[in-house]
Structure 1
Amino acid sequence: MAFQCQRDCYMKVFVTSVVSCCPAELKQEVNGKKETLKGFNVILQDTVLFPEGGGQPDDRGLIGEAPVLKVTRQGPDAVHFVTSPVEVGQEVRVKVDWERRFDHMQQHSGQHLITALADSMFGYKTTSWDLGRHRSTIELDTQSVKAAQLQELEEAVNEKIRAHIPVNVQLLSLNDPAVEKVRSRGLPEDHAGPIRVVDIEGIDANMCCGTHVKNLSHLQVIKLLGTEKGKKNKTNLIFLAGNRVLKYAEKSYSTERSLVSLLKTGPDEHVQAVDKLQKSFKLLQKTNLSLLRDTAVFIAQNFMNNPERGNFFSLHKKEGDNEFMNIIANEINTEEILVFLTVGEEKGPGLFLLAGPSGQVTELGPQILELLQGKGAGKNGRFQGKANSLAKREEVEALLRQHCKHHSS
């Protein structure tokens, strides 16, 4: 059975009746967290909302005033998930989210065109494809695609778009001889009824359940962004079609304007300007590390040269790293002196190091970990790690001072 969305991919609103409405749950991810949403599965007499299939994501839209959050195919039926119930038997107005739908149509028809030409021009077969939210990917059965081939393919694809070539949908019976000439990766196990074939006149005939443009001119333009290494002996070809190319150009221009303002140079000098900045940053980083090491040695020697120093040394510095702390500990006689060092934000995350007599460090290390909500380990008179919060640093210092006072008395 073909749904109304497959019979007329350009229909945006459709009136039909409700066949069933049953309580259901939808598992979805919101801001990285998995949630289970309670709602209803609705089956309609027919639908203009495409259920996920053929590599194409499902549509969004409305049944009456109820937003449709998911559409899946179960056998001959399209199942719509909504959060509020609809009355069985009543007529409802079904409206598709046209911007999302037309975007999917452009990407899907674009994939068919690219796949057909990559095969006819270079013999590269398509083994799978992915219609992503921002860019789409075609997996080609080849180890690599040369830059010249990529350019030639892009030119050929856009030439076909300019040629106004029609895209037709045919319904063929399983025993029709024409089926043997149709490109296919196989039918789903629960397929029933005639076979739907998307035919780009003179270019490609492909079994497909998805929604497509009716003329290649509706693709507007296709941009091949490049390739990435895919699975074993495969290459992923990344592309944009139609409105996505316009959005990509708009975003790129906005970024370009921001870089002009930040770098104070024209677009043609951006790469050179960033390269110069990176080299300057690396030089400053190297100089800063050298100064930090010198500072660490100075801090330690200043403490050791103080005739009134005790058997405990504590220091917190916002800037620093593990090397900075270890240099200080190396310069101090930690066989007799307990050293507690931290770097990072005063009340936020950071690094810590406890150094001193081996027995004392082994005893105190776990207590420090607990107070700093940290992770770490120790051996040979050193205990160090990461602190999730340095908010209780003063409590740690008080604990260590008390410990040193007890040991010196």
Structure 2
Amino acid sequence: PQLTTTVVSCRPAEWQAEGSHGKKEVVSGFRVVLEDTLLFPEGGGQPDDRGTIDGVTVLRVTRQGSQAEHFTQTPLTPGSRVQVQVDWERRFDHMQQHSGQHLITAVADHLFGWKTTSWELGRLRSVIELDSPSVTAEQVAVIEQSVNEKVRDRLPVSVRELSLADPEVEQVRGRGLPDDHSGPIRVITIEGVDSNMCCGTHVSNLSDLQVIKILGTEKGKKNKTNLLFLAGNRVLKWVERSHGTEKALTALLKCGAEDHVEAVKKLQNSTKLLQKNNLNLLRDLAVHIAHSLRNSPDWGGVVVLHRKEGDSEFMNIIANEIGAEETLLFLTVGDEKGAGLFLLAGPAEAVENLGPRVAEVLEGKGAGKKGRFQGKATKMSRRTEAQALLQDCVSRQSGGVRPQAAGAGAPLPRTGPCGP
């Protein structure tokens, strides 16, 4: 659909847009007002349209009173004639979901007396908030069957405009008008089913909905239940995604779709057992390593150990088993050229001073107390530099003797930590 209209105004503006990973970012551009528009501004639970004005992309549309404001990153000349075009795929999707919401709302009210207190047209699925503390699966099935029967009946959907003084307004369902509402009241009617005040866009016949699928319910706010649903093309896309996932799982699990859940449960149980056995072995290994280091004839000075496999518990077990108070113990686990974890243990004052410096060398961060400092490192490849820092400290404290890592050397003196 296209519309030829006139630019009324164009002013510099900033607004918040959704950037990468769903984060909000400030965008600079222009706020454009047209004499008339095809593009729906957000409202009534429905997101705004997208489209173009003379080929210029419209990034957002909002309502200010009776005006729609179009946000662009290219200015448009006031007084010029322009052509507005709507993104029909997005618009039709919103029409299907919004008309689907009206139908579900009316049926839930008729069958069970549940009022809709709010709704949200989401990017992947929509949510209706029902004024009921609980909704059973059987009740959901009854609602779904009823709404799809009405879709198959091809009931027409019509739009009327009533003046605020029209007595019929009192008979129309609605949740109230916005404070800044002006002009006539728009009423959407599903023949024989529902009449509702609404500013949103809708299909002209329920057959355009194709089908409605209610995905289930979730606990909502106090004494509310959220009903999750899809309408029209979203159902087809959902089936396509589900079928693709089913095919992939069939290939991975080597079994039919009917056995997928049981196969995954078996894999989970097997993984838990393997993790438990691995953890026990890792703990035994930590104890063995600790005793080997402690009983080594080369024990003293700075003791260094790195393992690719391990975690914080692994390093702490070694430190606990060793229990050295006169030796600096520098342990690391993780990718030798990437990220990992580190632990520094030894005399409390020395560790307190050296811990942050080791973290800085490893380009990481950490914290500690009582003779322990541990944290995350992003550059494990620099652990030799950290080791050299510690050995230099021991060398200066012990009168110039530079001990070898995990090798011979004097114990670290108790008289003061290494300075900066």
TM-score, with length taken from structure 1 = 0.94
Residue 19 of structure 1: which of 8, 30, 34 is its match? 8
Deviation of the 1:86 alpha carbon: 2.3
CA distance in 2, matches of 1:236, 1:209: 23
* Superimposed CA distance per residue, residues 310-348 of structure 1 (whole angstroms, 9 cap, x where no aligned partner): 332111111111111111112224122221111122233
352-361 or 56-65: bigger deviation:
352-361
Q: What amino acid maps onto 1:247 in structure 2? A: K
Residue 199 of structure 2: which of 194, 209, 215 is its match? 209
Deviation of the 1:190 alpha carbon: 1.4
Residue 18 of structure 2: which of 29, 35, 59 is its match? 29
Is it true that 1:266 corresponds to 2:279 in the alignment? no
Residue 226 of structure 2: which of 211, 224, 236 is its match? 236
CA distance in 1, matches of 2:13, 2:389: 56
Q: For residue 365 of structure 2, what is the aligned residue in structure 1? A: 375
* Superimposed CA distance per residue, residues 191-246 of structure 1 (whole angstroms, 9 cap, x where no aligned partner): 11111000111111110000000111110000000111111111111000000000
Deviation of the 1:128 alpha carbon: 0.5
Residue 311 of structure 2: which of 309, 321, 333 is its match? 321
Residue 321 of structure 2: which of 326, 331, 348 is its match? 331
Q: What amino acid maps onto 2:4 in structure 1? A: V
Q: What amino acid maps onto 1:283 in structure 2? A: L
Deviation of the 1:22 alpha carbon: 2.3
Is it true that 1:348 corresponds to 2:318 in the alignment? no
CA distance in 2, matches of 1:180, 1:312: 84
The DSSP-based 3-state class of the residue aligned with 1:205 is strand
Q: For residue 391 of structure 2, what is the aligned residue in structure 1? A: 401
Q: What amino acid maps onto 1:48 in structure 2? A: L
* Superimposed CA distance per residue, residues 347-399 of structure 1 (whole angstroms, 9 cap, x where no aligned partner): 33322111112222222122223223333222222222222432321111111
Residue 220 of structure 1: which of 185, 188, 210 is its match? 210
CA distance in 1, matches of 2:78, 2:348: 77
Is it true that 1:176 corresponds to 2:166 in the alignment? yes
CA distance in 1, matches of 2:360, 2:298: 32
Q: For residue 106 of structure 2, what is the aligned residue in structure 1? A: 116
Is it true that 1:69 corresponds to 2:69 in the alignment? no
Q: Which runs of 5+ in 1 are unaligned?
A: 1-11
Q: What amino acid maps onto 1:176 in structure 2? A: D
Is it true that 1:161 corresponds to 2:151 in the alignment? yes
- Kept in 1, the 8 Å contact 2:114–2:130? The answer is yes
Cα distance change on mapping 1:91 and 1:333 into 2, 3 Å = closer
Cα distance change on mapping 1:307 and 1:138 into 2, 3 Å = same
* Superimposed CA distance per residue, residues 133-184 of structure 1 (whole angstroms, 9 cap, x where no aligned partner): 1000011111110010001110011011001111111111111111111111
Deviation of the 1:307 alpha carbon: 1.6
Q: What amino acid maps onto 1:134 in structure 2? A: L
CA distance in 2, matches of 1:307, 1:79: 80
Is it true that 1:190 corresponds to 2:170 in the alignment? no
Q: For residue 115 of structure 2, what is the aligned residue in structure 1? A: 125
CA distance in 1, matches of 2:326, 2:28: 65
Structure 1 stretches (4+) deviating beyond 6 angstroms?
A: none
Residue 51 of structure 1: which of 38, 41, 55 is its match? 41
CA distance in 2, matches of 1:69, 1:338: 59
CA distance in 2, matches of 1:384, 1:23: 51
Is it true that 1:312 corresponds to 2:302 in the alignment? yes
CA distance in 2, matches of 1:322, 1:54: 51
Q: What amino acid maps onto 2:391 in structure 1? A: R
Q: For residue 92 of structure 1, what is the aligned residue in structure 2? A: 82
TM-score, with length taken from structure 2 = 0.91
Q: What amino acid maps onto 1:287 in structure 2? A: N
Cα distance change on mapping 1:83 and 1:308 into 2, 3 Å = closer
The DSSP-based 3-state class of the residue aligned with 2:395 is helix
- Kept in 1, the 8 Å contact 2:50–2:90? The answer is yes
The DSSP-based 3-state class of the residue aligned with 1:392 is helix
The DSSP-based 3-state class of the residue aligned with 1:16 is strand
CA distance in 1, matches of 2:323, 2:114: 69
Q: What amino acid maps onto 1:112 in structure 2? A: H
Is it true that 1:291 corresponds to 2:284 in the alignment? no
Q: For residue 70 of structure 2, what is the aligned residue in structure 1? A: 80
Aligned pairs, how many? 398
Q: What amino acid maps onto 1:262 in structure 2? A: L
Deviation of the 1:104 alpha carbon: 0.2
